[in-house]
Structure 1
Amino acid sequence: MTASPSHCLSKTLSSPSVFNAPKIGLAGIAVAALSACAVTPQPPLAGSKPNILYIIADDLGYSDIGAFGGEISTPNLDALVRSGRILTNYHTSTVCAVTRSMLYSGTDHHLVGEGTMGPPNDERKGLPGYEGYLNNQALSIAELLRDAGYHTYIAGKWHLGSKINAKEDKTPDQWGFEHSFTLLGGATGNHFGHDRASDKTYTENGRFVSLPATDNAGRPWYDTHVYTQKLIANIDEHIKDGKPFAAFATYTSPHWPLQVPEPWASQYKGAYDAGYEVIRQRRLDKQKQLGFVPADYTLPGQLLPNAASASPATANFGRPNARYINADTVPGQHTDNVDYGPGNINLTWAQLPPAQKKLQARYMEIYAGMVSNLDYNIGLLIQHLKDIGQYDNTFIVFHSDNGAEGSRVSAEQEAANARNIASLGRDQTLNPPGTEKTYIRYGWRWAEVSATPFRLVKGFTTEGGTSVPMVVHLPGQSAAQTPVREFAHVRDAAPTLLEMAGIAQPLAPAGVSGVNGIPLVKYKDRNVYPITGHSFLGELRGRHAAPLHPEPVGEEQYGRTYLRSGPWKIVWTEPPLGPSDGHWQLYNIEQDRTETRDLAAQHPEVVATLYRQWQSYMHDSGAVLAKKPGNTGRLPAPPR
């Protein structure tokens, strides 16, 4: 019998796994509760395949949730950890679209269209694998699941194609998603919406849509809330037919611009007045208690150097005769390439004037509010699975799409933010005419806090750019399992989901090859690159003794790159954040995941071996280095 609304409201309100968070208005709670309880619980069919709930955060740092050392309130994710399992050594790419291309295809991003995030504007333009969208030689995990009998849903960010009913550059409805409500691009200009169909920024089920002023609960439109409502509605629409579902919640939080509604906007007032170094040390201390880092690990030597002014670029930087240092630098050999870009201004908390401290603290308060709001919505999804009797038959995955985002606003925008600090984080379209607009990115130093204990941030192939918080919950699991500390990669997600669903990978030879002679496989009427990731389901079930990745694993983006093999990892980063001589750095990554001790000088033979393996990786993935690497030591500037 369907539960009564009053019973459902009481049950939802009393659930600590959902509402150990800021209190919201009673009307909002009631609507959420009623939507969560309007469907008769449907027990899983005997022998039925498990459901999948795959949750992705956007630009969330490694230490931002409580279970990974953070002070931000994330009770729902922490509860998921207590009945699930964390993967402490899970890696994505350095940026969001690239990560997503590997998540859905199960293979290297260079092969399937995201050699760079978006089409390159350099000498690589037009090369295979550099289309800037998911190309037609990619598999789609959604298509594989749907063809095997799953309902497939996505709500949130897409960032892999933007054309409706097109042969290429396609929206998610053309990649196997039965229901889709998605932001097509990489970022929204306003988490509170207001986009029109003519803007072509959002699609729903294959058509451009205008965003309403309010969500289904009557609150002002806010994307994180709406994505949750959309997925719940999708799940409820078909739950009675007994077919399993795969729902992808691809949230855009806490990606800039930093915005969140009340009460989350005020939840952390005063919490970050102590500043960058104190908060990072607190997180590190908690991570030591949790066993993430050795008890004797210290921060000095790990953070970016203090800089009151940007270090200069080399004389020829940006000129036609520039010779840029890049990863083609052969270890141990002289190179005539000497040019690189400027550095960054990075002040410590003590160097900031009082007004800047107030502004920077407010930035982090709003960021933390976004994370707690995200956790609240994740709690609603999980509670809904429990309310409809599907929680125990659902495989739940949560992780971020890359490391913490370190970019910051312009000096002009910073000044405007300081003059209008009271309006930070809210919907700027509600400001009186003529009011200055505020816009927040929280910058390098807070990103370093989010990346604790690792080095550098999003956009870099260091651990800080690619290590992300990862939590999983197996169907029927009720108690926490010991963390999986083995290296795993986002390419491993697709084969894991297929194994969980009992679906075979496409392996039939297509009889033709892709870039650099890579054999393709046949899937329906397409020739596609095979999945190259490895399922980690065995690790989750405690069955694998051998390493998940005995083979070398590499990654390249913006000319920044790494390769890891066994206990070793080589990393290349352009100056000034990388070595001024452009050498490859070497770390014993099993003993030094924080990449503190560069061992390249002590072990040149190891560097040489891994460099040759890196060359093979680049060839086998169709990757091409740009002559001018990186973003010249800077992350992308904000839009004007």
Structure 2
Amino acid sequence: MITNYLRLAFFLFLPALTPALAQKKPNIIVILADDLGYADLGCYGSEIPTPNLDALAKGGVRFTNFYNTARCCPTRATLLTGVYAHQAGIGHMMDDKGADHPSYRGQLNHHVVTIAEVMNGAGYFTAMTGKWHVGHQHGVYPWNRGFKRSLNAPAGGFYYAEGQNAKLFLNGEEVTTNYDKVPKDWYTTDLWTDFGLRFIDEAVTEKKPFMLYLAHNAPHFPLQAPEEDIARFRGKYLKGYEQLRQERYQKQLKLGLIDPSWKLPPRNPNIPRWESLSDAEKKQYDDMMAIYAAVIYRLDKSIGDLVAGLKKRGVFDDTVILFVSDNGGNAEPGIEGKYDGDKPGDAKSNVFLGQGWAEAACTPFWAYKHHTHEGGISSPGIVLWPNGIPAARNGKFEKEPAHIVDIMATLVDLGGAKYPETFDGNNIQPLEGASLKPAFTGKPITRKAPIFWEHENNRAILDGKWKLVAEKTEKWQLYDIEKDRTELNDQFDKQPAIAKKMVEQYESWYKRVGAEDYDKTFKWFYDYEKAKAGK
């Protein structure tokens, strides 16, 4: 009788036990686009066909308020480490300001750990492909910061093997033109995905969960794409950047991506009106935008190739895919952009988007890359996880703010990893971000502190619905981003208590992470370099 009772108890307990026993660590792919604006994907308002990224959004969750750091290197440092870029040693870009400026060494320091170093400890097969840009020239590489496999470019700046800055490293070994392990004729967007899948094959063979960091250089300048893809878009942008911005704004409203109360900011008066341009200028600008659209089209195609590869290998359903961008649309080097080369768009050309199209890329916000107003720091943010996100959440918008600094905490949560207090004998900075995993299922994110920004003296803090922000030449402004995310109605003087508290929070953070006055720091550096050179 006792045996029967025990048997009955076992079978009553079994249904509750089985899911826990069956649960396993998900595979994880973090995809980072480069210079992709908030409105550059179909599912975020674009006219550029991006069916594969749209499918990820339809089968997963779209964040409406996913933030980056406003610039390339700081975003990559923050993503890789889970702390603010200044704490990781990359408060600006790759210039090393010396030991007296620890937040500006231009390389990951040894008081941070990378997502690879952490996920290795949780039994993951770690790999990265794409643009590194966190200190290659200073001896900081994917292969000595935890990644078991890598195919990387030190800093990007090319799409083809014949490009001026083309340089690749495969698992630490420089790839030369006669190297037989890389296809002879490659396009970076396709190459990163190809090798990402090759590395996944190794993980599958070893029966390990994998974590792939896929860091695209698209759609960063110099804009280059196959001619047949550029031809798809040539002539479609003769309507001009002003009309394109209006059309994207209307599509965003129709999608339900943005609140109707968020009014479109006035156009930048420094950008010439489309109607004032000559026919020759309009044709040139049309071609520049066609090249940009082709680069994004190919980026989307690579996402489709990745998904197809995961499905072919039988690992798609168990894989979390997170897609974001490193900063807002790029208005460098100025209003006119660049249109250099015998055949703009090919491997030898040098094409920049231009400020008018960058403004459309950042719809409905204003400002661009470098800046901490919403246009510079807002990114598409898509997460798909077939076995982890309930079907009822598919295609939903998630309005809770998320930030690149949250990715490490999210991976630790997903993979059951342990974030260390010490690593290789060094004390490690505590995590700054919060896990986004609860938001996948519609639950609140547990965030202990506001989100902060500083880049080139452009600065901001987000605490709940309130955002305090200023360009380096401006006074602080305060916006209620729930009602006014396009930052048109400054509340600083109307909410003095909130403004005062947030200014104090920002100043405390600024000192804690070791940020410095950008103009003074860089002036010191350039004066020092001149002195060394005897100038």
TM-score, with length taken from structure 1 = 0.74
- Is the 2:70–2:455 Cα contact (8 Å) retained in structure 1? yes
Q: State the one-letter code of the partner of 1:492.
A: D
Q: Deviations over 1:150-202 (max 9, x none)?
A: 11111100001215xxxx641110011111111112x31x3112379xx8942
Which residue pairs with 1:173 in the alignment? 143
The code of the aligned residue for 1:97 comes to: C
Partner amino acid, structure 2, of 1:537: K
Residues in 1 aligned to 2:260 and 2:465: alpha-carbon distance in whole angstroms: 21
Q: 1:75 aligns with which of 51, 59, 77?
A: 51
How many residue pairs align between the two structures?
500
| SS in structure 2 of the partner of residue 90 of structure 1 | strand
- 1:598 counterpart = 2:490: yes
Q: Judge conservation of contact 1:560–1:629 (CA < 8 Å) in 2.
A: no
- The answer to whether the Cα contact below 8 Å between 1:574 and 1:630 also exists between their aligned partners in 2 is no
Residues 6-45 of structure 1 correspond to what in structure 2 (within 5 A)? none
Q: Does 2:511 match 1:619?
A: yes
Whether 1:156 aligns to 2:130 is: yes
Whole-angstrom CA distance in 1 between matches of 2:335 and 2:67: 30
Where does structure 1 lack aligned partners over 5 or more consecutive residues? 1-44, 308-345, 429-437, 507-520, 576-581, 632-640
Q: Secondary structure at the match of 2:317?
A: helix
| Residues 451 and 152 of structure 1, relative CA distance in 2, 3 Å threshold | same
Q: Are residue 482 (structure 1) and residue 448 (structure 2) matched? A: no
Give 1 or 2: higher helix fraction: 2
Task: Report whether the alignment pairs 1:607 with 2:518.
Answer: no
**2: CA distance, partners of 1:371 / 1:413:** 18
Q: Residues 503-559 of structure 1: CA distance to partner in whole angstroms, max 9, x if unpaired?
A: 1222xxxxxxxxxxxxxx212432211211110101112333xx5435222110101
SS of 1:208 mapped into structure 2: strand
- Structure 1 residue 67, shift from structure 2 partner: 0.6
2:192–2:214 CA contact under 8 A, matched in 1: yes
Which segment drifts farther, 469-478 or 487-496? 469-478
Aligned to 2:288: 363
CA gap 1:630/1:607 in 2 versus in 1, 3 angstroms: farther
Is 1:62 the counterpart of 2:27 in the alignment?
no
CA change 1:73–1:478 in 2 (3 A) is farther
**Structure 1 Cα separation of the partners of residues 200 and 333 of structure 2:** 38
Distance 1:385 1:283 in 2: 32
* Aligned twin of 1:424: 344
Structure with greater strand percent = 2
Indicate the SS of the match to 2:290.
Answer: helix
AA aligned to 1:525 is G
- What do the CA deviations read for 1:350-399 (whole angstroms, capped 9, x no partner)? 22121111101110011001001000011101111001100011111111
Report the alpha carbon displacement of residue 120 of structure 1 after superposing the two structures with TM. 6.1
Distance 1:211 1:475, change over 3 A: farther
**Matches of 2:281 and 2:227, distance apart in 1:** 24
- Deviations, residues 273-318 of structure 1 (Å, cap 9, x unaligned): 10001111110001001122233544353x32x23xxxxxxxxxxx
Alignment CA distance shift 1:445-1:411 (3 Å): closer
Deviations 1:30-71 (A, max 9, x none): xxxxxxxxxxxxxxx954311111111111000100111110
Provide the C-alpha distance between the structure 2 equivalents of 1:359 and 1:203, rounded to a whole number of angstroms: 36
Tell me which of 427, 434, 452 is aligned to 1:554.
Answer: 452
1:273 matches 2:171: no
Question: Structure 2 matches for 1:457-476, cutoff 5 A?
Answer: 457-476=368-387
User: Which amino acid is 1:361 matched to?
Assistant: D
8 Å CA contact retained: 1:62, 1:403: yes
1:215-234 residue CA offsets vs partner (Å, 9 max, x unmatched):
9676x321111111111111
d(CA) in 1 for partners of 2:288, 2:32: 22
1:215-261 deviations in Å (ceiling 9; x for gaps): 9676x321111111111111123412211111111110010001001
Counting only pairs closer than 5 Å after superposition, residues 52-201 of structure 1 correspond to structure 2 as: 52-119=28-95, 126-162=100-136, 169-185=139-155, 187-188=156-157, 190-194=158-162, 201=167
Preserved CA contact (<8 Å) 1:553 1:563: yes
In the alignment, is the contact (CA less than 8 A) between 2:44 and 2:380 conserved in 1?
yes
CA RMSD of aligned residues (A): 2.5
Partner Cα distance (2:336, 2:26) in 1:
51
- Looking at structure 2, the residues matched to 298 and 200 of structure 1 have their Cα atoms a distance apart, in angstroms, of 43
Report SS of the residue matched to 1:469: strand
Report percent identity of matched pairs: 34
Moved more, 67-76 or 603-612: 603-612
- The partner residue of 2:171 within 205, 210, 228 is 205
**2: CA distance between counterparts of 1:630 and 1:586?**
28
Indicate if the aligned counterparts of 2:68 and 2:75 stay in contact, CA closer than 8 A. yes
Distance 1:630 1:410 in 2: 25
Structure 1 residues 456 and 397: CA distance shift in structure 2, 3 A: same
Name which of 430, 442, 449 aligns with 1:530. Answer: 430
**Conserved 8 A contact 1:231-1:249:** yes
Task: Check whether the contact 1:139–1:528 (CA below 8 A) recurs between aligned residues.
Answer: yes
Does 2:224 align with 1:299?
no
